[in-house]
């Protein structure tokens, strides 16, 4: 057989192999979904956009400056776990922190919306824990590098089911709590947010088109700290959601 024909046969074999590998990867992964339990609605989670430094007391406890513009970062959908699943601390960190946060689920496309119209795009609310590898994040911050490996690793985003937005008359009057092994560590109120949800949505939607299934994390109150393998975290926003998450 001529060389050229042989080479082509090899190429076909290679692309078939590649196709099989791609298929296996898709099947091996899991699409993460957000559930609104009360209505049975399900959304495939898109991007998770998070706000850093949105509670003054938390900004102080980490020795950060209060930002003049909101500080944003993202977590991939693959980082989401549900109630009862475990956070696995990656081997490259010795200091994994919890941050309890109010999560906002986007229900309709929002692009360049005003603060006045922003809440119309919210489908529901949930409780989330923004797991953060503080040692890794501090090293990245010192070098001016992006935070993804400190914030977006697998299991870095425990997320409860959502309640419909219509059942939360005031998202700025919610008590956020987190305990480790039954001991209270965070106990804050969403009224203390520096940027409120309408402003957050207006700002984010001026940069990123927000789409149904996108999840926004709105920052953490004071009291963040370390967890180690064997700990059990419980996070709760009364009338919104509850999470029990072991650490391994
Ligand atoms: Zn956070």
Q: Are residues 18 and 86 in the same domain?
A: no
Predicted local distance difference test score (pLDDT) of residue 30: 73
Tell me if 151 sits within 8 A of 238, measured CB to CB. Answer: no
Residue 235 alpha carbon to ligand 1 centre in Å: 14
Interatomic CA distance for residues 160 and 109, integer angstroms: 22
In a shared domain, residues 17 and 74: no
Spatial separation of the C-alpha atoms in residues 5 and 10, rounded to whole Å: 9
Q: How far is CA 19 from CA 23, 31, 65, 185, in A?
A: 6, 20, 49, 48
Q: Are residues 11 and 108 in the same domain?
A: no
What pLDDT was estimated at residue 22? 41
Q: How many Å lie between the centroid of ligand 1 and the Cα of residue 39? A: 28
pTM here is 0.87
Residues 196 and 141 in one domain: yes
User: Ligand 1 center to residue 5 CA distance, Å?
Assistant: 57
d(CA 219, ligand 1 centre) in Å? 5
Do 40 and 17 lie in one domain? The reply is no
* Tokens read off for 156: 């870095």
Q: Which of helix, strand or coil describes residue 236?
A: strand
Of residues 198, 44, 205, 43, the one with CA closest to residue 109: 205
Distance (Å) from CA 51 to ligand 1 centroid: 6
- In the chain, how many domains are there? 2
Q: How much distance in Å is there from the Cα of 63 to the middle of ligand 1?
A: 15
pLDDT per residue of the chain (248 residues) written in tens, 0 to 9? 566 655 655 655 555 555 444 433 445 567 899 999 999 999 999 999 999 999 988 888 888 887 778 899 999 999 999 999 999 999 999 999 999 999 999 999 999 999 999 999 999 999 999 999 999 999 999 999 999 999 999 999 999 999 999 999 999 999 999 999 999 999 999 999 999 999 999 999 999 999 999 999 999 999 999 999 999 999 999 999 999 999 99
């Amino acid at each position: 057989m001529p060389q050229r024909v042989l080479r082509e046969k090899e190429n076909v074999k290679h692309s078939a192999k590649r196709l099989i590998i791609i298929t296996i990867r898709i099947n091996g992964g899991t699409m993460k979904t957000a559930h609104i339990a009360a209505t049975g609605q399900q959304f495939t989670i898109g991007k998770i956009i998070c706000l850093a430094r949105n509670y003054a007391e938390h900004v102080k406890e980490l020795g950060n400056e209060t930002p003049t513009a909101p500080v944003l970062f993202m977590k991939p959908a693959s980082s989401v776990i549900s109630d009862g699943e475990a956070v696995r601390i990656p081997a490259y960190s010795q200091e994994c922190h919890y941050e309890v946060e109010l999560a906002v689920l986007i229900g309709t496309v929002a692009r360049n919306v005003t603060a006045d119209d922003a809440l119309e795009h919210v489908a529901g609310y949930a409780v989330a824990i923004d797991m953060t590898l503080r040692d890794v994040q501090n090293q990245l911050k010192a070098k001016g590098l992006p935070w993804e490996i400190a914030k977006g690793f697998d299991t870095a985003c425990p997320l409860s089911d959502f309640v419909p937005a219509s059942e939360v008359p005031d998202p700025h009057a919610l008590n956020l709590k987190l305990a480790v092994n039954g001991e209270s560590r965070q106990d804050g109120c969403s009224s203390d947010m520096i940027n409120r949800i309408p402003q957050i949505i207006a700002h984010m939607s001026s940069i990123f088109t927000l789409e149904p299934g996108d999840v926004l994390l709105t920052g953490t109150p004071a009291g963040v700290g370390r967890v180690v393998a064997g700990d059990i975290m419980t996070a709760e926003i009364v009338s919104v959601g509850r999470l029990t998450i072991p650490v391994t």
